[in-house]
Amino acid sequence: MSKKVVLGFSGGLDTTYCVKYLSEDKGYEVHSVIVNTGGFTEDELKTIEQHAYKLGVKTHTAVNAVKGYYDNIIKYLVFGNVLKNNTYPLSVSAERLSQALHIAEHAKKLNADAVAHGSTGAGNDQVRFDMIFHIMIPGVEIITPIRDMRLSREEEISYLKAKGVEMNFEKAAYSINKGLWGTSVGGRETLTSKGMLPESAWPTQVTKSGEEEVKLHFEKGQLTNVNDKSFNHPTEAIQYLQSIAGGYGIGRDIHVGDTIIGIKGRVGFEAAAPMVILKAHHALEKNVLTKWQLNWKDQLAQFYGNWLHEGQILDPVMRDIESFFEHSQQNVTGDVYVHLAPYRFQVIGIESPYDLMSSKFGKYGEMNNGWSGEDVRGFSKIFGNQTAIWQQVNDSSK
């Protein structure tokens, strides 16, 4: 009886190679699984399924993970206003963890002997997948043909052609990975430290020339309405906002970061909805949260984003930080007004019943209703008292 292997399958060159190699060269019963985190249409999923069965898989499963991806990961990236290196909304790194978790669950369900993925030995994904599998399905063999055999693209193509596989072997000029929380774009311009992607490389072309204002409504930190249009789940609101903002070319940038394996990496990305949501959410928080809530959220968010990027989603400290984030959002409710224009956007302001800038407490730089000038005079003296003592002690010792 053949051993069962669950293969994370995208339908691309690497995972196509894995199916033929594992089934025909190694004698495994291959069960392919694709985890959709918002990057595939129904037609694309159907085409990938047909391709998998034509290659000879025993079963093929498509997991719709979009809502779970938001509920378990994206929601907390919004709560924390997480931007890796103050730039990147963790588009790909976050979705890889969701995919790895679902692949591991599928391997459990099928009682598989092994699990496989098509990662190379050059990037972050190999670590993310391997680590999740070691934690979730300990003892299950992890097979990575592309990494282990150090296969070149040309070697994979030659092998598949010899096996009679028919597919488009032409390498696209740019590597594109699309998901709910943004799209990464890699090409020759991102292989060095200088260079911007040309207009033609961006998956979402600029189709809008005018300007408009959108109103985003948040309930306890989550986007629920766009322009008074309500949605059953925040994922629908994200997709709707993307349809509005994407045509302006908003959210395009190049991210330079440190990989898990210790080298620098550079990648282009477009994330119109994520960038608008993060900045709008942060603007609302600045009005409704206290100074120290904002301070500690910033510190925890930086750690949370870095640890998530490095694949550590299962570390229990992440649940602790998520609890802090969740509690911090109790008053993050209100409307945020955002001006959209080609290649840029600007947060105009917010309206919230929890706005701490309420004029009944005073107006910054103009007047106040909560204290007098004499109160401030005494406060200033006490607030700096210890530093004044230190200064006098040290001055007298000279």
- pLDDT-derived band at 64, boundaries 50, 70, 90: very high
- pLDDT-derived band at 162, boundaries 50, 70, 90: very high
Q: Which residue has the higher pLDDT, 347 or 259?
A: 347
- pLDDT-derived band at 190, boundaries 50, 70, 90: very high
Instruction: Tell me the per-residue pLDDT of 75-91, one tens digit each, with 9 for 90 and over.
Output: 999 999 999 999 999 99
Among 4-18, 65-79, 128-142, 383-397, the least confident range: 383-397
Structure confidence at residue 138 (pLDDT): 97
Are 118 and 20 spatial neighbours (Cβ–Cβ below 8 Å)? no
Any bridge partners for residue 144, and if so which?
none
Instruction: Tell me the per-residue pLDDT of 234-266, one tens digit each, with 9 for 90 and over.
Output: 999 999 999 999 999 999 999 998 888 888 989
Mean pLDDT of 335-362: 91
Length of the chain counted residue by residue: 398
- Report the C-alpha gap between 92 and 271 in whole angstroms: 11
Instruction: Tell me the per-residue pLDDT of 314-333, one tens digit each, with 9 for 90 and over.
Output: 999 999 999 999 999 999 99
Structure confidence at residue 300 (pLDDT): 98
For the record, the structure tokens of 349 come out as 């302001």
- pLDDT-derived band at 359, boundaries 50, 70, 90: low
pTM of the model: 0.93
Cα distances (angstroms) measured from residue 108 to each of 10, 37, 133, 315:
20, 20, 11, 20
For residue 35, give the nearest of 67, 77, 57 by alpha carbon: 67
| Longest CA pairwise span in the chain (Å) | 89
Mean pLDDT of 361-387: 81
Instruction: Tell me the per-residue pLDDT of 175-189, one tens digit each, with 9 for 90 and over.
Output: 999 999 999 999 999
Cα distances (angstroms) measured from residue 280 to each of 137, 215, 223, 325, 332:
39, 10, 10, 17, 11
For the record, the structure tokens of 348 come out as 């105009």
